Structures are given as C-alpha cells and as structure tokens.
Amino acid sequence: MRTLFHFWLSPSSRKVRIALGEKGLDFEMQVEKISDRRPEFLAMNPAGDIPVLVEPDDGPILADQNAICEYLDEAYPEKPLLGSDPAERAETRRLTAWFDNKFNSEVTENLVGEKLIKRYLGWGYPHAPAIRAGLQNIHYHLDYIAYLAERRNWLAGDDFSMADIAAGAHLSTVDYLGDVPWDEHPEARLWYSRIKSRRSFRPLLSDALPGNPPPSHYADLDF
C-alpha cells in the first residue's frame, strides 16, 4: 500500500493528500513526529522533514513536498495539475511557490507554527509579536486570492491546479485555528468554498487533533 508519512496540520502534508485525492490514488497515512528523529525515518529522508511518500510495489521513496507533487503529476498524468504549456505551468508554479514560501513565512509559520506546531514538537512557547504579524499579513494574501479569483476561473487560470491546492492547504490549517477573517474577504471565501466542496479536500475537514478541536465552521461547506 502507498504510505504517506505526515502530520495533520502540516500544509505540505495536506498538499500531498489533496494531490493524491485529485489523482484518485489510494494511500494510508502514518503520523511522523519529526522531533523524534527516528533513524528509520531519517534513512528515508535525510532532511528529516515530512511529508515522505512511499510508493507501493517497491516503488520509489519520495521526499520534499514539491518533488512529491511534481512526481505525482508526472507518474499519473491523467488530470494534469500544472497546466498544459510551459508558460501556463510557470504561472502555476509561481503561484504555488507564493503560498508554499511567501504565505508560509508571512502567515502559516506565524499562526499555525507559533500556536500549534511549536508546542507539539516541544520547541517552546508561542511568540506574541509573530502571531500579531500573521494576523496582519493574512489580509494582503486574501486580497491577492480575491484579485486572482475575480480574473480567472481558478487561481492560476482556467483549470483547478497545484496553485489552488497549495493555497487551500495553507489556508485550511489557519482556518483550523479560526484565524481566517472570512467576513472581511467575501471573494476569497467564495473561492475557498469551491475548494472545500471538492472530494479531494473532504478528508482534511474531518481532521481533529486531540485537545485541539477546530471551530464549528471549519468543516462546514456553507461557512
């Protein structure tokens, strides 16, 4: 069986879960606490990071979220997630990187990282100024989503793509904390409601961390 080593509220793990779902591929999940630095896990990924995907039938062991997602699109090309020509694919990758890098460092790390991941990994306590920065920065990103969604069918163009997956993966972790100001960003909310109703996204909406339940609107398709 295909196995994904992951953590529930890691956006990069969620990205791979959604991509697997879009491709219609079955997989089982195993939670990996990276701070344990298990030798068997480090042997699979010397970088020590999740996600890691182990393909079935002695297939490859894949590490790095971007490498895994690109692999899935190459090995299972039906229903492409990057676009059809090089320029379209560059636009999808630019926006995917926007969320994986810029949104991640400006928003996700400051909110999900500070409030949840730090404690889970035993890396200390939340840093209040970082949380304030994250709550500020998210407005600009929701405006950018609205700007794109008003001009295009999906974020990178006509088709649902890896850019929507990356944006949805990150926003869903922040939404789990109840920190997305949806009321002030109706266009971004409209785009996110389309993401939420995709079959590939549904499993994420039933994630629930012991002691850290999500707010009631988290799994609600009509939020």
Q: Which residues bind to a second copy, rule: CB under 8 A?
A: 46-47, 59-60, 62-64, 66-68, 70-71, 74-75, 86-87, 89-91, 93-94, 97-98, 102, 144
Considering the complex, state which of residue 10 and residue 196 has its C-beta at the smaller distance from a second copy. Answer: 10
Considering the complex, state which of residue 24 and residue 60 has its C-beta at the smaller distance from a second copy. Answer: 60
Q: How many CB atoms lie within 10 A of CB 114?
A: 21
Considering the complex, state which of residue 90 and residue 221 has its C-beta at the smaller distance from a second copy. Answer: 90
| Distance in angstroms (rounded) separating the CA atoms of residues 153 and 172 | 20
Sequence-distant (6+) residues with CB within 8 A of 136 are none
Instruction: Name the minimum Å distance from CB 19 to a second copy.
Output: 13
Considering the complex, state which of residue 14 and residue 93 has its C-beta at the smaller distance from a second copy. Answer: 93
Instruction: Name the minimum Å distance from CB 112 to a second copy.
Output: 18
Instruction: Name the minimum Å distance from CB 12 to a second copy.
Output: 11
| Distance in angstroms (rounded) separating the CA atoms of residues 170 and 192 | 11
What is the separation, in whole angstroms, between the first and last Cα of the chain? 35
Q: Which of 61, 59, 25, 12 is nearest to 170 (CA)?
A: 12
Cα 201 to Cα 12, 176, 194, distances in angstroms: 14, 14, 10
Instruction: Name the minimum Å distance from CB 36 to a second copy.
Output: 19
Considering the complex, state which of residue 12 and residue 173 has its C-beta at the smaller distance from a second copy. Answer: 12
Considering the complex, state which of residue 68 and residue 171 has its C-beta at the smaller distance from a second copy. Answer: 68
Instruction: Name the minimum Å distance from CB 67 to a second copy.
Output: 4
Instruction: Name the minimum Å distance from CB 44 to a second copy.
Output: 11
